[in-house]
Amino acid sequence: MRMSKLYLPTLKEEPAEAEIISHKLMLRAGLMRNHASGIYSYLPLGYKVIQKIEKIIRRHMDDSDAQEVLLPILQSSEIWKESKRWDRFGPLMIKFKDRKNREFCLGPTHEEVVTDLLRDEIRSYKDLPLNLYQIQTKVRDEIRPRFGVMRGREFTMKDAYSLDRDDEGLDESYQAMYNAYTNIFVDCGLETRAVEADTGAMGGKDSHEFMVLAESGEDKIAFCTNCEYAANIEKAESLVEKRTVNKEDKLEKIHTPGAATIKELEKFFDLPGEDMIKSVAYQADGEAVLALVRGDDELNEIKLANYLDVDNLEPASEEDIITHFKSSPGFIGPIGSKGVRIIADQRIENMESGITGANEKNYHYRGAKVGRDFEVETYLDLRLVREGDSCPSCSGKLEIKSGIEVGHIFKLGTKYSESMGASYLDENGRDKPVVMGSYGIGVTRLVAAAIEQNHDDYGICWPLAIAPYQIIILQLGNDDAVIDKANEIYQQLESAGLEVLVDDRKERAGVKFNDADLIGIPLRLTVGSRSLEAGVVEAKVRATGQELNFELSSVVKETTELLAKIK
Ligand code: ATP
Ligand code: MG
């Protein structure tokens, strides 16, 4: 491709709207442009990268016997109501009515469509296993679209759905996808780490996310420094140390004027947060819930939401708090609260007694004991793990890092096949629900993640496998000899099957060098009058800065050999 013809609107200035490096570089390198909040147009270079990623994905999906299909983006509300996700997805889903007043949504994911498609087609065990995938636009009306295509409202996803006869079949399909994902990311030149994940609105049991570790990542991952344990913080657990604290025996109401937060209480009582019971009030589908964690712990809302299994979990408003606890926020607690479900973290079970709100302004109880002073519905793991916690599998120490979720795989089990009636007849003629899995890769997010992992102060350093072009030839100056030679090398490399961009624009050398660095083509060849006189072409590897001179007579051979060594 000749750069004089390429639509490549690069920007010199940092775009003000971009916070993270990949977003800045995707705009500056002319890969995409913004249309509306979280919605982008992909320009020629950007779309080439996407197509390269899609090609790698297709190869690995096809190799693992998944078959490509294309499912509708416009989806009828009926199937979503059957699976009970019409409400559960809530405002994340763009919903509308057609001219006949029928409700539709723009597909945020396709479990329902696949189950609906196959429930009438799958008859016997002979039709299984089956794995269908597609690469398509998804629409999610994210609360906070940001970081460019990292969290868009419209984005490209590769999604796959496996259907099996039983759990063993699902385990095999899941493992095949796990392996395919691992290979896809390696082939894209990305370093990822698979971590245990929460299943969220998808439902189901096992789940892993594939994370690109990066400071800008919106996810937090807990890693064990000693063993292989790694989990999204939404899901991560830690060892529950058995210890009892605060052995106050008597329940005492204490005047604590102005002490409403754990910090203020620590100061007031001169005791650590671990002697206190923190009470956090929620509205769960209209029902009042009080979650209790130890004062030094933070509540993990995802764990609470999973236990409650409700469509809507929201922090209680001041009004709700006054209604249910007859007190203002900061002084609420489990003792004497009526009509409220009380759910406690397992560490509370290990507390002999604790300090907690008295449901009266400026008062707290000291010596509050579960079982004697209040009851809890259940104990479960409700806390957010912290750096330095003990690993649940080896008791080593946990470390926390940020990551970008580029892929997510789920064992759905029979959640959709049971709610939507997708079953098959087994060898003995018995009707059984199909066992499903679902597997997603954020294709457009992956572009941004690749840049987060591969850039320097001057621009993008594309991994070779997903670079829009492999080679850029810089034609410096307007000498006929230079123009002819650059052209000749360009033709030769193209004929050798390489992907070449030639900067034949009438621009200054400095502009060409800067643009080449910015757009990050892995190998740069410079053709100028000085190097021609010396009988060479100057080669430079973008990512490592390695510089070489190629003899004019063997440019193609040396380029091909060098490319084979670049990652
Ligand atoms: P997140 O937690 O980041 O919101 P998710 O868990 O809701 O993502 P999945 O339903 O697991 O996303 O979707 C599969 C993949 O699609 C994700 O792993 C991610 O790479 C990508 N993805 C999800 N939401 C977006 C988005 N808003 N913009 C770009 N890519 C996305
Ligand atoms: Mg996910």
560 and 445, same structural domain?
Answer: no
406 and 376, same structural domain?
Answer: no
Q: What is the pLDDT of residue 118?
A: 96
Q: What is the pLDDT of residue 244?
A: 61
pLDDT in tens, 419-463: 999 999 999 999 999 999 999 999 999 999 999 999 999 999 999
415 Cβ closer than 6 Å to some ligand 1 atom: no
State the DSSP code for 391.
P
Q: What is the pLDDT of residue 466?
A: 98
Q: Is position 287 within any domain?
A: yes
Q: Is position 240 within any domain?
A: no
Check: CB of residue 472 under 8 Å from CB of residue 460.
no
Helix (H) or strand (E) holding 460: strand 459-460
Give the number of other Cβ atoms within 10 Å of residue 550's Cβ: 21
Name which of 558, 553, 509 is nearest 534 in CA terms.
553
What is the tally of structural domains in the chain? 3
Q: What is the pLDDT of residue 203?
A: 61
In DSSP terms, 465 is beta-bridged to none
- Ligand 1 center from residue 445 Cα (angstroms): 8
Q: How far apart are CA 177 and CA 440, in angstroms?
A: 10
37 and 113, same structural domain?
Answer: yes
Q: What is the pLDDT of residue 337?
A: 87
147 and 41, same structural domain?
Answer: yes
Q: Is position 561 within any domain?
A: yes
Q: Is position 119 within any domain?
A: yes
201 and 113, same structural domain?
Answer: yes
Q: Is position 159 within any domain?
A: yes
The dihedrals phi and psi of 354, each to the nearest 5 degrees, come to -155, 175
pLDDT in tens, 51-108: 999 999 999 999 999 999 999 999 999 999 999 999 988 899 999 999 999 999 999 9
> Which segments of the chain have a pLDDT < 50?
none
152 and 283, same structural domain?
Answer: no
- Ligand 2 center from residue 64 Cα (angstroms): 22
376 and 262, same structural domain?
Answer: yes
Give me the CATH number covering residue 289: 3.90.960.10
Probe ligand 1: pick from 405, 406, 412, max atoms within 8 Å of CB?
405
Give me the CATH number covering residue 112: 3.30.930.10
67 and 152, same structural domain?
Answer: yes
Q: What is the pLDDT of residue 246?
A: 55
220 Cβ closer than 6 Å to some ligand 1 atom: no
48 and 143, same structural domain?
Answer: yes
Residue 216: both structure tokens together: 């800008």
Note down the domain range covering 164.
Answer: 21-224+400-451
Which atom of ligand 1 lies nearest, measured to the CA of 446? Answer: 20
Q: What is the pLDDT of residue 202?
A: 62
147 Cβ closer than 6 Å to some ligand 1 atom: no
Give me the CATH number covering residue 483: 3.40.50.800
Q: Which residue's entry shows tokens 């982008």?
A: 40
208 and 114, same structural domain?
Answer: yes
- Ligand 1 center from residue 518 Cα (angstroms): 28
Q: How far apart are CA 187 and CA 92, in angstroms?
A: 32
Name which of 396, 408, 292, 397 is nearest 342 in CA terms.
292
332 and 286, same structural domain?
Answer: yes
Q: Is position 11 within any domain?
A: no
Helix (H) or strand (E) holding 61: helix 44-63
Q: What is the pLDDT of residue 144?
A: 93
Q: Is position 100 within any domain?
A: yes
